[in-house]
């Protein structure tokens, strides 16, 4: 792939890949991570030295954790809401936090890892699965007590997903693993030939889709670990694919958005947005939304026709998130951390944290 479009993003990510893999300590930087609780009208935002709980209606801050900046606390991964009212936070300080989502108070912490948490944990079947840069996946009970660990060969940056009786986790070591969720025993391994930093996406018939830094999207049978098909993309596929109605949508660091037939991997259409894309495409009300490093929010119809483009005065990374009638964008500047848009791309509200 070429790197002509990877202006500020490429050096940051390249260094992150190199130093994370070798275990060196470097200053971290990333983009905001979102989790939405529509029932309670709240969006939780992880960025830099704080978690913010915001009202979906107007972006007003409900609480932040910690109340004041702490030198050792940094977080970017989307928080994980559990079925028993916990908000799980991945810390760069090698700590997994459980908060009360109503007020941000701490429930417990798990400090058993030996490196930073890059990706989000997942909670399924009463168990918490937390991937870490120390190459290990930690399984915890709801009280934060260790049940088992699974060791990969290189860092785990992506959130695992539970598919039937198999926990599927992708790794920087080029492999996708199928793991027994009860014991942590390996069921299968598939070598994709390229590092994987994003989470698998579930389609139909227990097939999952992954994007790789080998410039591919793969369909994998989660029961057997067999690759069903692979598609060669123009560039690195950093974000997770999106599945919708028999199609797989994905984007790459060359700025290409493409749609594939989920059964065969055949390309249905592709569009060059001329800006690196690090996140997953969002499908909302029969439209597709993507963000790119050129500072654009782009809306497509499901056949790949561009409907509108909104220009933002900042490079945009990560994935847009649907929240009720809003589309949330992580900006990450001093003027706006979060931008809430309507379906037409008009701004409804913005949120910028108070300076600490």
- pLDDT given at position 76: 96
CB proximity list for 46: less than 8 A, separation 6 or greater: 32, 33, 34, 75, 76, 77, 78, 79, 89, 90
4 domain-assigned: no
**Can you give the pTM of this predicted structure?**
0.93
- Measured CA to CA, the distance from residue 182 to residue 166 in angstroms comes to 9
- pLDDT given at position 332: 85
3 domain-assigned: no
The helix/strand/coil state of 13 is: helix
Contact 278, 12 (CB under 8 A): no
66 domain-assigned: yes
- pLDDT given at position 26: 36
Q: What stretch of H or E contains 14?
A: helix 9-22
CB proximity list for 65: less than 8 A, separation 6 or greater: 50, 51, 89, 97, 99, 104, 106
- pLDDT given at position 24: 36
1 domain-assigned: no
345 domain-assigned: yes
CATH number at residue 168: 2.130.10.10
- Measured CA to CA, the distance from residue 270 to residue 255 in angstroms comes to 10
For residue 342, give the DSSP letter.
Answer: -
- pLDDT given at position 30: 82
Q: Consecutive 10-residue runs of the chain (356 residues): their mean pLDDT?
A: 42 44 46 96 97 98 95 95 97 98 98 98 97 98 98 98 98 98 98 97 98 98 98 98 98 98 98 97 97 97 97 95 96 90 97 84
Among 178, 170, 176, 209, residue whose Cα is nearest residue 191: 176
330 domain-assigned: yes
Instruction: Provide the number of structural domains found in the chain.
Output: 1
75 domain-assigned: yes
163 domain-assigned: yes
Among 85, 82, 138, 75, residue whose Cα is nearest residue 110: 138
Q: By residue range, what is the domain housing residue 155?
A: 9-21+28-351
């Amino acid at each position: 792939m070429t790197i002509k479009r990877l202006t500020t993003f490429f050096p940051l990510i390249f260094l992150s890949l190199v130093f994370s893999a070798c275990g060196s300590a470097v200053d971290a930087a990333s983009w905001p991570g979102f989790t939405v609780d529509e029932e309670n009208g709240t969006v939780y935002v992880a960025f830099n030295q704080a978690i913010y709980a915001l009202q979906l209606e107007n972006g007003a801050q409900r609480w932040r954790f910690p109340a004041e900046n702490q030198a050792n606390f940094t977080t970017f991964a989307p928080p994980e809401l559990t079925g028993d009212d916990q908000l799980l936070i991945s810390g760069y300080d090698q700590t997994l936090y459980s908060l009360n989502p109503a007020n941000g108070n701490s429930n417990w912490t798990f400090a058993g890892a030996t490196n930073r948490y890059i990706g989000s944990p997942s909670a399924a079947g009463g168990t918490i699965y937390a991937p870490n840069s120390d190459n290990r996946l930690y399984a915890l009970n709801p009280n934060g007590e260790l049940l088992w660990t699974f060791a990969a060969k290189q860092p785990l940056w992506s959130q695992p997903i539970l598919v039937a009786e198999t926990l599927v986790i992708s790794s920087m070591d080029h492999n996708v693993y199928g793991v027994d969720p009860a014991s942590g025993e390996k069921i299968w391994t598939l070598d994709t030939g390229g590092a994987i930093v994003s989470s698998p996406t579930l389609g139909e018939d227990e097939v999952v889709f992954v994007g790789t830094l080998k410039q591919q999207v793969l369909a994998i049978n989660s029961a057997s670990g067999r690759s069903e098909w692979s598609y060669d993309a123009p560039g690195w596929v950093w974000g997770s694919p999106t599945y919708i109605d028999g199609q797989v949508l994905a984007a790459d660091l060359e700025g290409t958005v493409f749609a594939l037939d989920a059964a065969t991997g055949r390309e249905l259409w592709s569009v060059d947005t001329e800006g690196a894309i690090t996140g997953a495409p969002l499908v909302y009300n029969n439209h597709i939304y993507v963000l790119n490093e050129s500072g654009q929010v782009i809306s497509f119809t499901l056949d790949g026709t561009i409907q509108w483009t909104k220009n933002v005065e900042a490079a945009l990374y990560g994935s847009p998130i649907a929240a009720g009638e809003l589309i949330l964008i992580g900006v990450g500047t001093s003027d706006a951390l979060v931008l809430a848009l309507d379906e037409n791309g008009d701004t409804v509200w913005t949120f910028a944290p108070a300076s600490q």
